[in-house]
Structure 1
Amino acid sequence: MVNRAAKMARHLLKTWDFIERMEQAPDALGVENCLIDLAALFGFTTVFGGVVPNPSVSREEIPSRILVQRMPIEWTKRYNDRDYVFRDPIVSHLQSVRAPFSWDEAYAASLNAADVKLIRGEAGEFGLRIGHVVPVPTLDGSLATISFGGEAPEMSADAKDALTFAAAYAVGRLLHVPRRSVDVEVTMTPRETDVLLWAAEGKSDWDIATILGISRPTVLKHMRSARDKLDAMNRTHAVVKAIRGRLIP
């Protein structure tokens, strides 16, 4: 009983230490560092996360959906340049799964053996053989996720519970902590404001295009411009920053 109580106390202390570091992180990089430091305690060496793309998302939209990408530089470049996000069994698994899962579970569930062989094999070249994935639903109906990877990390129940908690907390912080505050002089064009307003209502790019009577590529252009002005990491982040900056109601 004493050992169990001591173990619980240690876990509680680690939790509070993590929360305190997260709350004190001044920017997205600080949050990312907190996350990778916690993952390292369990032998994980990489963290990758963002808003999960559906099959209709264009290649141009992918960068704006990334929240954290702490992986070997060469693997990051290969993954991005070759559009592996559209072939990754882990991303495919996230289209239907909302509970945390391992990379092996995603590989086993995939119906595309060629993609499994490709991603598993090439990731393994960089020491990424075992991973834990945490889906995090957001209030706007999107699905964010954080994926931890490594050569031979700890996959105990305690490790997975800690990473699941940390991932959910980190996603909230990454969407909350801007890379820089919204400048009071930032102004939106009427179309950028319209796009942000309808995005805040939960409308898709196709919906917004129909409502405004413009093409979907034009919607994406205005959204990209708004994100650049707000220095936002993705669509949801742009809406949050626009609301906080009183740029939209």
Structure 2
Amino acid sequence: MVDFSGHLSSIALPADQRIAETQRFAQTMTREADVRQALEQVTSDYGFHGFLVMVVPGKSCRSLSDSVVMTNWPKDFLISYDAASMMAGSPVIERLRRSTIPFTYDTELDSRRRSDGKGNAVLSLFERVNLRRGVYIPVHDVHGTCGAVAFGGNREAVNPGELKELTFIAGYLFSRLSELKEMRGRAPGGLSRREIECLHWAAAGKTTTEMAKILDLSEYTVNHYLSRATRKLDSVNRVQTVAKAIRAGLIN
């Protein structure tokens, strides 16, 4: 479990120390699952019901689902939202396209600003999944990708102190998630399912003989898969290969 209790106290540190602490803490996350766990903990700690990480969609995009990077919002919510073409008239999405300032949202108020007549349907949908109020935080990664992290629920509007903390947290979690996705995109370049399976069991401390029995393969074949993975990850031995695979999020 990722513990934010100590890290949040660093908000009071001078900016340079806070940045250094943030970078150190972010590097402890070696898998996308670690970032998800952190987002889930932030969601709970601040009294929200769900989180959403997205890439800000262009004007030609009509699907919220296509813009989602990671979320624990119900899948049927996204399906219903897109089926009713609700994104086109969303004042929240439009604001994300033209502003980099974090802002709160209230579905009851925002739905009145829609010009497409879908306000009541939007309000009903968000109420059904307990995402009536929350905050959107514009973020970006080192490549300039514009995104947003949202936290939603039924709690009262966040106060300025909470908004500052959430903005700080969302920024580095989005950056770390982008880094991990980029690593995953590079590393698998050729790693087969069998190679990953062998690395998984190697990381668990299994010998070649034990892996052969678990995977119902010959020891020769296991060594073959491990050797290929070592070459593909540009490693010098099995230990380094396993370490690289863990950092890239290929194995747990």
TM-score by length of structure 1 reads 0.59
Report the CA distance between 1:177 and its aligned residue.
Answer: 0.6
Question: Does the residue aligned with 1:177 lie in a helix, a strand or coil?
Answer: helix
Aligned to 1:91: 93
Query: Does residue 124 of the first structure (1) align with residue 127 of the second (2)?
Result: yes
Match in the other structure for 2:104: 102
Output aligned runs, 1:18-167, within 5 Å. 22-57=26-61, 59=63, 63-104=65-106, 107=110, 110-112=113-115, 114-153=117-156, 155-167=158-170
In the TM superposition, residue 160 of structure 1 has moved relative to its aligned partner by: 1.1
- Whether the 8 Å CA contact 2:140–2:174 is kept in 1: the answer is no
User: C-alpha displacement at 1:154, in angstroms?
Assistant: 5.7
The one-letter code sitting in structure 2 at the alignment partner of 1:76 is: L
Name whichever of 43-52 and 17-26 sits farther off. Answer: 17-26
Quick one: which amino acid aligns to residue 170 of structure 1?
L
What is residue 185 of structure 1 aligned with on the other side? 190
Equivalent residue for 1:171?
174
Distance 1:170 1:79 in 2: 26
CA distance in 1, matches of 2:76, 2:62: 23
1:44 offset after TM fit, Å?
0.9
* Identity fraction in percent: 18
Q: Using the TM superposition, give the Cα deviation of residue 81 of structure 1 relative to its aligned residue in structure 2, in angstroms.
A: 4.0
Runs of 4+ in 1 over 6 A off after TM superposition: 13-19
CA 1:117–1:185 in structure 2 vs 1: closer, same or farther (change >3 Å)? same
Task: Summarize deviations over 1:73-122 as a string: whole Å, max 9, x none.
Answer: 43233224444333433112212222011113981793526243332232
Higher mean C-alpha displacement, 121-130 vs 175-184: 175-184
Name the larger-Rg structure. Answer: 2
Paired residue total? 178
Q: Secondary structure at the match of 2:178?
A: helix
CA shift for structure 1 position 65 = 3.1
TM-score normalized by the length of structure 2: 0.58
Alpha-carbon distance in 2 for matches of 1:18, 1:118? 40
List per-residue Cα deviations over 1:1-28 (Å, max 9, x = no partner): xxxxxxx997228989986664222222
* Aligned-partner Cα distance in 2 for 1:171–1:153: 25
Structure 1: any 5+ residue segments left out of the alignment? 1-7, 187-249
Distance in 2 of aligned mates of 1:184 and 1:111: 45
Superposition deviation, residue 132 in structure 1: 0.5
Q: Could you list the runs of 5+ residues in structure 2 that have no partner in the other structure?
A: 1-5, 13-17, 192-252
For the residue of structure 1 that corresponds to 2:87, the secondary structure is helix
Q: 1:134, 1:147 within 8 Å by CA — same for their partners in 2?
A: yes
